[in-house]
């Protein structure tokens, strides 16, 4: 069974999926902030990427820097098969939880 | 000329991020600073944003050692209040050795992680500063729970409330010294596979 993912891990992984070949730290941070509609610490995204890479859910490679970064390298991330399975499992779990309920919920309180 | 965050904050980041990750992490922060934050918020607010981001790494780097340090202090405090010994010497020696060992190990690990001797000093300071906040809050909670006559007598016998609330803050200077010593030890131990 694939690793269970937390909500923030899912946000980061889905950011990588959406960005495709352009998924590096800063771009993922921006994507996560946009989707979650809140300020997120860059360190939180880096820590999550590090943890996911240790789990083998994603892999990374170094790429060239840009002038705005002072020439510093970028680390590009790619989803691994276990990451894809984990995301699909997470989606299936949510779908199962909501099965049979109309969204948005009304009339239960 | 492109705007830049404070040099000291960039130097601090270098200390608290793994050597292998520093280029990517600092590049990401610099890109966000120049691309988005500075144009929208201006120099001062952008600098504050950058420092806040760096502090996240500082707290993350020192959180485990700070938690252990605060836990040791609060355990010792609770023991002194609830199970007061006749002679505090043995207990003091044990808790002092534990604290010294923890700070030396923290400094050693930090300097090996970042490759910087300064990392030991700064991690020692961060550890004791965070632990001081946790310890003072924790001691206040303990005092709220236990404040009977017997406990108050035990507190007076073990150094008084002043020691409970001041000692964690006074530990920041020894934290810097011991972190530095640990950092020096870490710098002397060559990392496996390191060419430095």
Asked if B145 is an interface residue toward chain A (Cβ–Cβ < 8 A), one would say no
Of the residues A12, A26, A61, A71, the best mutation for testing chain B's interface (the one with the most B CB atoms within 10 Å of its CB) is: A26
pLDDT on residue B191: 60
Q: Which of B146 and A31 is assigned the larger pLDDT?
A: A31
Categorize the per-residue pLDDT at B88 as very low, low, confident or very high, splitting at 50, 70 and 90.
confident
CA distance B89 to B101: 18
pLDDT on residue B156: 87
Choose among B138, B131, B120: nearest CA to B68.
B131
**For residues A7-12, average pLDDT:** 96
**Range ranked top by mean pLDDT from A62-71, B88-97, B112-121:** A62-71
What ipTM, to 2 d.p.?
0.89
Check A69 against B53: CB less than 8 A apart. no
CA distance A38 to B126: 28
Segment B28-69, tens digit of pLDDT: 999 999 999 999 999 999 999 999 999 999 999 899 999 999
Is the confidence at residue B193, as pLDDT, over 70?
A: no
Segment A33-87, tens digit of pLDDT: 999 999 999 999 999 999 999 999 999 999 999 999 999 999 999 999 999 999 9
Q: Which of A24 and B90 is assigned the larger pLDDT?
A: A24
- Mean pLDDT score of chain B, rounded to an integer? 91
Asked if A40 is an interface residue toward chain B (Cβ–Cβ < 8 A), one would say no
Categorize the per-residue pLDDT at B196 as very low, low, confident or very high, splitting at 50, 70 and 90.
very low
pLDDT on residue B192: 57
Is the confidence at residue B93, as pLDDT, over 80?
A: yes
To which residue do tokens 């969204």 refer? A103
pLDDT on residue B22: 93
pLDDT on residue B153: 87
Give me A96's structure tokens.
């199962």
**pTM of structure:** 0.83
Categorize the per-residue pLDDT at B162 as very low, low, confident or very high, splitting at 50, 70 and 90.
confident
Contact B91/B124 with Cβ under 8 angstroms? no
Is the confidence at residue A1, as pLDDT, over 50?
A: no
Q: Cα B137 from chain centroid? A: 16
pLDDT on residue B53: 97
pLDDT on residue A3: 64
Contact B89/B40 with Cβ under 8 angstroms? no
Residue of B nearest to A74 (CA): B24
Full set of structural domains in chain A with CATH: 7-97 (1.10.10.10)
Half-sphere exposure of A37 (CA within 13 A, CB side): 0
Asked if A58 is an interface residue toward chain B (Cβ–Cβ < 8 A), one would say no
**For residues B7-27, average pLDDT:** 93
Our CA-based measurement puts residue A29 at a distance from the nearest CA of chain B, in whole angstroms, of 9
Q: How many of the other CB atoms lie within 10 Å of CB of B41? A: 14
Categorize the per-residue pLDDT at B195 as very low, low, confident or very high, splitting at 50, 70 and 90.
very low
Is residue A76 classed as helix, strand or coil in its secondary structure?
strand
């Amino acid at each position: 069974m694939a690793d269970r993912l937390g909500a923030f891990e899912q946000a980061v992984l889905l950011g990588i999926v959406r960005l495709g070949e352009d998924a590096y730290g800063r771009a993922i941070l921006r994507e996560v902030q946009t989707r979650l509609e809140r300020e997120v610490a860059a360190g939180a995204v880096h820590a999550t990427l590090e943890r996911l890479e240790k789990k083998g859910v994603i892999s990374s490679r170094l790429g060239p820097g840009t002038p705005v970064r002072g020439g510093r390298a970028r680390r590009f991330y790619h989803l691994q098969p276990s990451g894809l399975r984990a995301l699909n499992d997470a989606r299936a779990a949510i779908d199962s939880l909501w099965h049979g309920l109309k969204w948005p919920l009304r009339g239960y309180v | 000329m492109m705007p830049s965050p404070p040099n000291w904050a960039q130097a601090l980041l270098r200390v608290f991020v793994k050597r292998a990750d520093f280029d990517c992490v600092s590049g990401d922060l610099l890109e966000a600073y120049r691309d988005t934050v500075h144009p929208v918020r201006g120099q001062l607010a952008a600098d504050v944003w950058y420092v806040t981001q760096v502090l996240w790494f500082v707290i993350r780097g020192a959180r485990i050692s700070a938690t252990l340090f605060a836990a040791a202090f609060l355990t010792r405090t609770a023991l002194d209040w609830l199970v007061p010994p006749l002679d505090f010497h043995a207990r003091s020696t044990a808790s002092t050795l534990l604290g010294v060992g923890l700070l030396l190990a923290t400094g050693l690990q930090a300097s090996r992680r970042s490759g910087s001797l300064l990392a030991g000093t700064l991690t020692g300071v961060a550890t004791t500063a965070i632990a001081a906040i946790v310890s003072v809050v924790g001691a206040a909670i303990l005092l709220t729970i236990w404040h009977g006559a017997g406990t108050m007598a035990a507190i007076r016998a073990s150094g008084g409330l002043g020691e409970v609330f001041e000692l964690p803050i006074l530990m920041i200077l020894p934290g810097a010294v011991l972190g530095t010593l640990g950092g020096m030890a870490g710098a002397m131990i060559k990392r496996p596979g390191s060419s430095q």
